[in-house]
Chains A and B, each alone.
Chain A
């Protein structure tokens, strides 16, 4: 969080560093007083000076001083906080650019009006104010990308908003920061900041329907996909579904374009996909995808198909 790449995160980082200097100064003063008392006591004992127990020990003037100074400091911190709150948390304007929905334990990422649905990756253009709307499908989650923005809870029954403007392209780690159940630890996501052109290209690619299977293994995988009713939970453009609720699990249309699977638990490659298909519970214990007891052949075929969904 001290390596901010947006004005919003910088506002907090700057305030934090300043307040930490103030705190460090206070700590130094307290430690100095205590050290002085200890050194003085040790020196007097070494000299053999045995003063009697003291009787009185009051000094209202000093008390007033060390009440007033901290009061002044906290008032200053408050004033600075008001400014930082304004700068780090701008009021969102207009419709959201991205809608992110927290689910146990993954993130649904929708680009409204663009026909794009993804998961666990939020792609945004550089040097553009991005308005993210946050919703929850179940319990309370929290959307936190330390280098880009404040964290904010994702609360069922409410819509929350966060606005940030990334100033450098790159990949930034995001996490769920509110305990949300057994796999809270693996509810990570990435924010990927593109140049404007790259972002448009990415958006266009994501809006396309799924790539048809190109190899025999992939064709076999599609058959497994349909046989095992994967579409009960997962959406996949171009593969007919049976009208049951979607987005119980991540959208798979462009699964292969994503960097990781299982909300950060594994790198996304064909071998890991096959492992996941064999038994997701062995990789992400307690996640809502059951073990379908697929044979090794079926799992590999499915992985081959899914890995083709660029």
Chain B
């Protein structure tokens, strides 16, 4: 079957039944499956939290054994971030992005389904550890060397590493999909400056995912190499470092915080205006501040490490950078508040959650300002104050915002309204429960109670505050039950929603509720940021001509996706090379290894030559000489194989000479970096082979040139990486 044939729209009614869901590539169904998955894991993580709070209700309690408690807080954090937060974002993102930009589907529906299925896969793998000898027990940050074999024989850590790798790959796949969809599939007239703010924010989030996840992946592979090939990246007594893991983890971990919160900012920016009956105050400032936050978020990771003892200079640098983030965030808060001023506010459940979000998030943001100051952080970090802070951001912010999104978009997704009466019960219960749980934790931090403790001594004030917190958790649990009950009964008996129950303004409300598989019969013209408002008020639409369809002028999906993928891969290799430089040129330095630079240099020539031959192949293709292209593609692959053969030869010699990862830090960094590069060359070869074979059967159709070009980008990228690897690892040894 040709590629076009599979893209033909299906006109018949959407099939139903279990198999149709498992096999679906429809962005809406994938989105719904993401949302359901996250609700399931939200329940699991919530039960874990309840168990922890019962244990902490009174001092020196023995309800839960210490080892189990440590597993619970590790799983609670990991689950909430990777199996609740990320899938919620991917779920709403998948469901809403094509609808909001007037597209039929995401750019790569099958990649989308694949990305989704990695979530239940990763989640099951992570939870399988409970049955396989114990869940991971070293916190969601898994600080080395506590996670190294000498201190942790628990296989849960390995499950943690592997499932995060799987979930990370899924997240990057999903993020690339969103990026390509936003860049290439917007409706005619939807200029960047007319995109809904939710689109802006999920776009920035997707870029952050693409750049940040590889940092985590690089740390994960190093720890895996330590645990399974007996290297010592993070073992100080064997020449490693106990601090490098933390840097790598937080290079991922801090952007991750914004990955979670930015899409919620986007939701709030859609919902508050609709229920204030006013456009967002300062659209361009809200959008620009998002970009500013995205950029700044990549430069503040070490504020999680003020207590590590990095020294005065780095501490103050990261203080300044972290404090700066308060500015664009503050801009957003003022814009949301100003949007409400003078508006005809409708106090729907969604709006109540938005107002709750605003206030709770501001409290969390302000405690974040205190934490950004290194000297204050030296006191409060790793205490319950931090637990309070990030729950105000992630519960008061993220969960409240997501609840607003649920009440707002549920009618679109299901065709039925959620009960407002139950919704208000949920809101007030959640608000009271949340504050009861987390407000007092600030004071526990002031009193010196460290976090991640399974129990505490009976010091003055500890018991009352902890007990209040436990009671609050129960109230939260009740509010979640109200929500689940509301969803269950509204699915069956909820009021029928109609296309646009809120009189909202963005394109998703032009589709029926729920939308058909192809989304729109006709996408309304986009003359402003609020196409549905224009549709309802022809009298106020100024005479804006509908711009011509600029879709053909947009970049091609294959190219955008490969560029985003290369950005992600660059980050991965950058981190591995940074590790190489840190370990070998700065702190540690374990002497040059027995590398045969001349021989590897010769094989490198083969790899570099393969870039040139690929250029020739592409030129033949452009000139319509298909046969010539096949020949030169073949030569390219042959050269790639020669390089890999050279690497295999080199590895054989080194390993028989007992130069192995457990021997020295140099060997560990050498094998990790060159090994992953070799793996990428191999992947590139497979891609070239696939392209070559598909071409022969005419499977690439009219996209042939673009797809060969996109594959070529990747191949050239692999060669460029080798320029750096060879210069730093081989030539760097001579200098």
Q: How far is the CB of A185 from chain B (nearest CB, A)?
A: 4
How many interface residues does chain A have, given as a range?
A: 35 or more
Q: Which of B86-94, B357-365, B552-560 contacts A (4 or more CB under 8 A)?
A: B357-365
**A142-178 vs B, Cβ < 8 Å mask (1 yes, 0 no):** 1010110011110111101000000000000101111
**B622-649 vs A, Cβ < 8 Å mask (1 yes, 0 no):** 0000000000000000000000000000
Q: Which of A33, A53, A56, A179 contacts B452 (CB 8 A)?
A: A179
Bound together, the chains give a CA A118 to CA B3 distance in angstroms of 75
Query: Quick one: closest A residue to B246, CB to CB?
Result: A140
List 11 additional A-B contacts (Cβ < 8 Å) besides A54-B277, A81-B319, A85-B316.
A33-B334, A57-B273, A57-B278, A81-B316, A151-B381, A155-B236, A155-B308, A156-B237, A157-B241, A177-B307, A181-B146
In the complex, the answer to whether B383 meets A177 with C-beta atoms within 8 Å is: yes
In the complex, the answer to whether B374 meets A152 with C-beta atoms within 8 Å is: no
Query: Quick one: closest B residue to A178, CB to CB?
Result: B382
Q: How far is the CB of B75 from chain A (nearest CB, A)?
A: 14
B355-397 contacts to A, CB under 8 A, are 355, 358-359, 362-363, 366-367, 369-370, 372-376, 378-383
Which residues of chain B have C-beta atoms less than 8 A from A80's C-beta?
Answer: 373
Bound together, the chains give a CA A109 to CA B730 distance in angstroms of 46
Q: Known: A57-B280, A78-B323. Is A140-B145 also a contact (CB below 8 A)?
A: yes
Q: How far is the CB of B406 from chain A (nearest CB, A)?
A: 22
In the complex, the answer to whether A157 meets B341 with C-beta atoms within 8 Å is: no
Bound together, the chains give a CA A23 to CA B365 distance in angstroms of 9
In the complex, the answer to whether A70 meets B308 with C-beta atoms within 8 Å is: no
- Counting chain A CB atoms within 10 Å of each CB, the highest count among B334, B381, B383, B446 belongs to B334
Q: Which of B66, B315, B380, B537 contacts A182 (CB 8 A)?
A: B66
B474 at the A/B interface (Cβ < 8 Å)? no
Query: Quick one: closest B residue to A66, CB to CB?
Result: B334
Q: Which of B139, B285, B343, B382 contacts A63 (CB 8 A)?
A: B285
B615 at the A/B interface (Cβ < 8 Å)? no
A74 at the A/B interface (Cβ < 8 Å)? yes
Q: How far is the CB of A93 from chain B (nearest CB, A)?
A: 16
Q: Known: A15-B373, A53-B277, A74-B327. Is A38-B340 also a contact (CB below 8 A)?
A: yes
Q: How far is the CB of B40 from chain A (nearest CB, A)?
A: 28
**B259-286 vs A, Cβ < 8 Å mask (1 yes, 0 no):** 0000000000000010011111111110
Which residues of chain A have C-beta atoms less than 8 A from B375's C-beta?
Answer: 11-12, 15, 81, 84-85, 88-89, 150
Q: Which of B152, B242, B331, B366 contacts A157 (CB 8 A)?
A: B242
Query: Quick one: closest B residue to A161, CB to CB?
Result: B309
Which residues of chain B have C-beta atoms less than 8 A from A175's C-beta?
Answer: 448, 450
B616 at the A/B interface (Cβ < 8 Å)? no
B583 at the A/B interface (Cβ < 8 Å)? no
Which residues of chain B have C-beta atoms less than 8 A from A142's C-beta?
Answer: 307, 382
In the complex, the answer to whether B307 meets A152 with C-beta atoms within 8 Å is: yes
Which residues of chain B have C-beta atoms less than 8 A from A138's C-beta?
Answer: 145, 150-151
A212 at the A/B interface (Cβ < 8 Å)? no
In the complex, the answer to whether B381 meets A37 with C-beta atoms within 8 Å is: no
Which residues of chain B have C-beta atoms less than 8 A from A177's C-beta?
Answer: 307, 381-383, 450
A19 at the A/B interface (Cβ < 8 Å)? yes
Which residues of chain A have C-beta atoms less than 8 A from B453's C-beta?
Answer: 184-185
B208-243 contacts to A, CB under 8 A, are 236-237, 241-243
B51 at the A/B interface (Cβ < 8 Å)? no
Q: Which of B70, B152, B331, B456 contacts A66 (CB 8 A)?
A: B331
Q: How far is the CB of B441 from chain A (nearest CB, A)?
A: 14
Bound together, the chains give a CA A156 to CA B319 distance in angstroms of 25
Q: Which of A41, A56, A59, A85 contacts B312 (CB 8 A)?
A: A85
In the complex, the answer to whether B379 meets A1 with C-beta atoms within 8 Å is: yes
Which residues of chain A have C-beta atoms less than 8 A from B278's C-beta?
Answer: 53-54, 57
Bound together, the chains give a CA A27 to CA B329 distance in angstroms of 14
Bound together, the chains give a CA A1 to CA B450 distance in angstroms of 12
Bound together, the chains give a CA A269 to CA B643 distance in angstroms of 71
In the complex, the answer to whether A40 meets B341 with C-beta atoms within 8 Å is: yes
A1-47 contacts to B, CB under 8 A, are 1-2, 9, 11-13, 15-16, 19-20, 23, 26-27, 30-31, 33-34, 36-38, 40-42, 44-45
Bound together, the chains give a CA A157 to CA B144 distance in angstroms of 13
Q: Which of A45, A146, A153 contacts B344 (CB 8 A)?
A: A45
Bound together, the chains give a CA A77 to CA B376 distance in angstroms of 11
How many interface residues does chain B have, given as a range?
A: 35 or more
In the complex, the answer to whether A53 meets B533 with C-beta atoms within 8 Å is: yes
B14 at the A/B interface (Cβ < 8 Å)? no
**B-binding residues in A (CB < 8 A):** 1-2, 9, 11-13, 15-16, 19-20, 23, 26-27, 30-31, 33-34, 36-38, 40-42, 44-45, 50-51, 53-60, 62-63, 66-67, 70-71, 73-74, 77-78, 80-82, 84-86, 88-89, 104, 138-140, 142, 144, 146-147, 150-153, 155-158, 160, 173, 175-185, 188, 264, 285-286
B573 at the A/B interface (Cβ < 8 Å)? no
**A-binding residues in B (CB < 8 A):** 65-67, 70, 137-139, 143, 145-146, 150-152, 236-237, 241-243, 273, 276-285, 307-309, 312, 315-316, 319-320, 323-324, 326-327, 330-331, 333-335, 337-345, 355, 358-359, 362-363, 366-367, 369-370, 372-376, 378-383, 446-448, 450-457, 459, 533, 537, 540
Q: How far is the CB of B534 from chain A (nearest CB, A)?
A: 10
Would you mind naming 14 contact pairs between A and B with Cβ atoms under 8 Å apart?
A34-B340, A41-B340, A58-B281, A58-B284, A59-B281, A78-B373, A139-B143, A142-B307, A175-B448, A183-B66, A184-B454, A185-B454, A264-B457, A285-B66
Which residues of chain A have C-beta atoms less than 8 A from B338's C-beta?
Answer: 33, 59, 62
Query: Quick one: closest B residue to A64, CB to CB?
Result: B285
Q: How far is the CB of B280 from chain A (nearest CB, A)?
A: 7
Q: Known: A19-B369, A19-B370, A153-B307. Is A82-B376 also a contact (CB below 8 A)?
A: no
Kindly list the 4 A-B residue pairs having the minimum CB-CB distance in the complex, ordered from nearest.
A157-B236, A150-B378, A185-B453, A37-B340
Which residues of chain A have C-beta atoms less than 8 A from B369's C-beta?
Answer: 19, 23, 74, 77
In the complex, the answer to whether A155 meets B309 with C-beta atoms within 8 Å is: yes
Query: Quick one: closest B residue to A159, CB to CB?
Result: B309
Query: Quick one: closest B residue to A55, CB to CB?
Result: B540
Q: Known: A26-B366, A34-B337. Is A151-B378 also a contact (CB below 8 A)?
A: yes
Which residues of chain A have C-beta atoms less than 8 A from B330's C-beta?
Answer: 26, 66-67, 70
Q: How far is the CB of A84 from chain B (nearest CB, A)?
A: 4
Q: Which of A19, A144, A153, A286 contacts B376 (CB 8 A)?
A: A19
In the complex, the answer to whether A20 meets B307 with C-beta atoms within 8 Å is: no
Bound together, the chains give a CA A73 to CA B372 distance in angstroms of 13
Bound together, the chains give a CA A155 to CA B373 distance in angstroms of 22
Bound together, the chains give a CA A26 to CA B359 distance in angstroms of 11
Query: Quick one: closest A residue to B143, CB to CB?
Result: A140
Which residues of chain B have C-beta atoms less than 8 A from A181's C-beta?
Answer: 70, 146, 151-152
In the complex, the answer to whether A34 meets B242 with C-beta atoms within 8 Å is: no
In the complex, the answer to whether B283 meets A58 with C-beta atoms within 8 Å is: yes
In the complex, the answer to whether B342 meets A37 with C-beta atoms within 8 Å is: yes
Q: Which of B145, B312, B343 contacts A54 (CB 8 A)?
A: B343
Bound together, the chains give a CA A44 to CA B344 distance in angstroms of 8
Bound together, the chains give a CA A151 to CA B307 distance in angstroms of 6
Bound together, the chains give a CA A33 to CA B379 distance in angstroms of 33
Q: How far is the CB of A142 from chain B (nearest CB, A)?
A: 6
In the complex, the answer to whether A1 meets B151 with C-beta atoms within 8 Å is: no
Q: How far is the CB of B461 from chain A (nearest CB, A)?
A: 12
Which residues of chain B have C-beta atoms less than 8 A from A185's C-beta?
Answer: 66, 453-456
Q: How far is the CB of A203 from chain B (nearest CB, A)?
A: 27
Bound together, the chains give a CA A213 to CA B382 distance in angstroms of 44
Bound together, the chains give a CA A162 to CA B200 distance in angstroms of 46
Which residues of chain B have C-beta atoms less than 8 A from A58's C-beta?
Answer: 281-284
- Counting chain A CB atoms within 10 Å of each CB, the highest count among B150, B309, B324 belongs to B309
- Counting chain A CB atoms within 10 Å of each CB, the highest count among B150, B277, B324, B378 belongs to B378
